[in-house]
A and B are shown apart, each in its own frame.
Chain A
Amino acid sequence: MTFKYGGYAGQVLEVDLTRGKTIDKPLDEELAWDYLGGAGLCSRILYDEIGPRTRPLGPENILIITTGPLTGTLFPQASRHVVAAKSPLTDIWGEAHAAGHWGAELKFAGFDAIIVRGRSPRPVYLWIDDGKAKIKDARQVWGHDVYETDAIIKEELGDKSIKLLYIGQAGENLVKFAAIMNDLDRASARTGIGAVMGSKRLKAVAVRGTKDIPIAKPKNYMKLMDEFHDKMLADPFTQGRADYGTPSLVELMNEIGRLPTRNYQTGVFEHAEEIGGKTIRRKYLVKARADFACLQRCGRYTCVPEGSYAYIGGSPEYETLACVGSKCGIGDVEAILYAHYLCNCYGMDTCSLGGTIAWAMECYERGIITPKDTGGLDLKFGNHEAMVQLVHMIAFRKGFGNLLAEGSYRAAQKIGRGAEKYVMAIKKQELAGQDGRAQKSMGLGNATAARGADHLYGFPVLDEVGFEKAIRERFGAKYLPEIGEKLNPKYKGLMVKECEDFAVVVESVGVCKYGTMIPPTFFYPDILRALNVTTRMGLKERDLRRIGERIVNLNRMFNVREGIRRKDDTLPERLLKEPSPDGPPKGHVVELDKMLNEYYRLRGWDLRTGLPTPSKLRSLGLQFTLNHLPKRKRAMKVKKRKH
């Protein structure tokens, strides 16, 4: 039986690891209509199936891997899959995304999504071969890193073209910021989702398939894709991405004073050029490496040919260079490249890893953490040898690494002595390479993101370097020039709200934020045209916008149920109170309250509590969440009478 809409495989694979059983179920058409796929599909399934009593690393947590209707198609950068579960790092909504070739292959193998429940008594991996799924023994790969696991399973199954998704040792050892990796060096990195997979003793998911992704209107489809590809390639941004990847952002961010340095003490790093895009391209680039259907090709291979940091493998992104590099005061680019390679091997989020080490370094320099705590490790800013050693120690939870494997928030709770003050995390997750003092929209976006500190949930970047035309098109000319000024908090509530709604749609259809958020080439009307020729769903633009808003609100309600309120939508004290000391943002802090008020107002959320209003939830078809809103009206009335 084929699915009603094109683009979808039409089947969901449900896996019960406790019983060792798998079943195929047809994808619910209504669910596809209301949430599209990807991040949207995750939001609904997790909301329905888990809640406050779910322990993130208990067998009752659920790990979902989804693709969108455009994953595996010709839409530029249609290579994305989404993983979601309750996060062991943030204890709230957990979600991460990756590109690669795995997501597309899952659809060719006949599935839109995999839902993993329970916990296997012994290490296993999942082998999905053209519509048939098998749970297989993984004892031979347990304890191996990602690169080894990739080689061993491909050898075992006798086909090097099989696509794999896996965890490394960090996931097995339940490191709180372990990643799920795929295609060797692609990472669904954030919110410790790899630890959830490790807790289920699921080492890998291997996929291979020969099935079609059906296209509803093939003739129009080809014409439209030709148009989109030409448009993407003609964008001046594309060649820059292809030449440098995201590492060239190091130089740009340094110039605008937004490159977090020494645990966010400043936004200007004296060694920025040494760790930036130009250096990496000149000295270490092997070649640009594209993910499935990717025209941007920001992925790349790099190599340090000799010395103690020698390797060949995937290249770090900007975030890694900032988090493991400037945040730790490290200007030795080979050390950063090598640490990144190790993180890929072990399967760890470089953002949280770098953030946690940077926090430890600041505490060390301030005498809060002593050599007695670190086992003699000299954790001064810039000590790259100590940093690299810590990567090993964290992945294997050895010595001081065992404490850091809990993330900076939990480690600070344990250390005490005022260490909490230097934790640069939101909702327990470390900030990536984004100093909101230098770009106010990014400050707000990090505070409101559903998965804790996260620059990608809303990814407000159009005020970064003047995309005036796109700003006019996406938000309206009447908000210019203020909305385009990165140091001006005005209209940033609007920007973040609109960006979040669109970003979740992007993550739900299965395409990349490059090409949609930046460069701002494709917007709702383009996604809509692509969806309609691919799927024949007959969606309208207002439907798409409503789906985006629905998903953001449902994520919010997931978090509300876990106790998240306005007080949690905040930033580390440093960004709110310590003015940025250097560069263009000198003297600036993040004016969070003002922006947050605007944001809540536009969202239709209560200004005092940050709770979505019942009318907003009803208007989005989220009536089923109303029961989970705290009964606040009566409480408020009582309070008022007292005054």
Chain B
Amino acid sequence: MPYLYGDPLKCTGCRICELYCTLCHERALNPKKARLRVVRLEPAIDKPMACRQCADPPCAKVCPTNAITRNAKADVVIIDEAKCIGCGACIEACPFGVIWLHPEKKIAIKCDLCRACVPRCPVNALSVVTSEQFANKKRVDLVERLKPILMERIPIPRG
């Protein structure tokens, strides 16, 4: 299941992603209507946060109008705006705080994985990854780091 990942080590907190997000979804500029948010905490933390498209989404379970469903074909969790009554139950249920109410329409909004922000991040801090890919990369990166030590122990003929 792919989701939008924001790398806090790369992110500089410019919030260009928030602006592009609202431009695509709202045809206006307004970070409070963006489907992702960059959380800045001092000192020196900038972390883009967006829906993780859970396999078993708690938001969908608590939605009283069944407005939230997991679309298996697109592999994404979707909110049906027409069904949403703006009760905020999903917001309470989401463990990451990545659903919020649209300030005017008062319906729940979240990342729909449209990817408009990804290529526009000036420092490539955003990517769409699956947990499998994430774990793979982490695993390989770690072994890569250990490589010099491991290589010393492997009896490669050094002629």
Contact = CB atoms under 8 A, between A and B. Distances in A.
Interface in B118-152: 120, 122-123
Contacts of A242: 123
B120 A229 contact: yes
19 contacts: A74-B16, A74-B29, A101-B40, A108-B32, A161-B40, A210-B30, A210-B32, A210-B33, A213-B30, A215-B23, A215-B29, A222-B23, A229-B16, A229-B120, A288-B12, A289-B46, A293-B16, A297-B12, A313-B43
A513 to B, nearest CB: 17
A292 B14 contact: yes
Nearest to B37: A161
A278 B33 CA distance: 40
A108 B28 contact: no
Given A101-B15, A210-B103, A287-B9, 20 more contacts: A74-B20, A160-B41, A211-B30, A212-B26, A212-B30, A215-B27, A222-B23, A226-B120, A229-B16, A229-B120, A286-B43, A287-B12, A288-B12, A289-B12, A289-B44, A290-B14, A292-B15, A294-B12, A295-B122, A297-B14
B23 A295 contact: no
A209 B32 contact: yes
B31 interface: yes
Nearest to B122: A295
Interface string A596-626: 0000000000000000000000000000000
Contacts of B123: 242, 297
A301 interface: yes
Contacts of A218: 23, 27-28
Contacts of B56: none
A184 interface: yes
A80 B30 CA distance: 17
B58 interface: no
Contact of A290 (B9, B13, B27): B13
A293 B28 contact: no
B43 A312 contact: yes
Nearest to B10: A287
What interface size band does chain A fall in? 35 or more
A293 B103 contact: no
A213, A233, A242 pick with most chain B CB within 10 angstroms: A213
Interface residues of B, number: 30
Interface in A202-255: 209-215, 218, 221-222, 226, 229, 233, 242
Contacts of A303: 43
Interface in B36-52: 39-44, 46
The 5 closest A-B CB pairs, nearest first, are: A290-B14, A210-B103, A290-B12, A212-B28, A210-B32
A74 B122 contact: no
A594 B40 CA distance: 51
A221 B32 contact: no
B19 interface: yes
A221 to B, nearest CB: 7
A214 B28 contact: yes
A72 interface: yes
A291 interface: yes
A434 interface: no
Contacts of A297: 12, 14, 122-123
B6 to A, nearest CB: 14
A290 B18 CA distance: 14
B44 A301 contact: yes
Interface in A302-320: 303, 312-313
Contacts of A288: 12
B14 A295 contact: yes
B97 to A, nearest CB: 12
Query: Most A CB atoms within 10 A — which of B26, B29, B32?
Result: B29
A261 interface: no
A286 B12 CA distance: 11
Contacts of B32: 108, 209-210
A168 to B, nearest CB: 16
A293 B43 contact: no
Nearest to B26: A212
B141 to A, nearest CB: 19
Contact of B19 (A73, A101, A287): A73
Interface string A133-167: 00000000000000000000000000011000000
Given A289-B12, A292-B14, A221 B30 contact: no
A287 B30 CA distance: 26
A293 B121 CA distance: 10
Contacts of B120: 226, 229
Contacts of A229: 16, 120, 122
A221 B26 CA distance: 13
A33 to B, nearest CB: 22
A534 to B, nearest CB: 9
Interface string B97-123: 000000110000000000000001011
A209 B31 CA distance: 9
B29 A73 contact: yes
Candidate in B27, B28, B39, B122 with the most chain A CB atoms within 10 angstroms = B122
A410 B33 CA distance: 51
A641 B22 CA distance: 71
A221 B24 CA distance: 11
B44 A312 contact: yes
A290 B40 CA distance: 11
Nearest to B19: A74
Contacts of A210: 30, 32-33, 103-104
Nearest to B13: A290
Nearest to A226: B120
A527 B116 CA distance: 24
A128 B59 CA distance: 33
A210 B29 CA distance: 10
B127 to A, nearest CB: 17
Interface in A257-303: 286-295, 297, 301, 303
A521 B46 CA distance: 28
Nearest to B29: A213
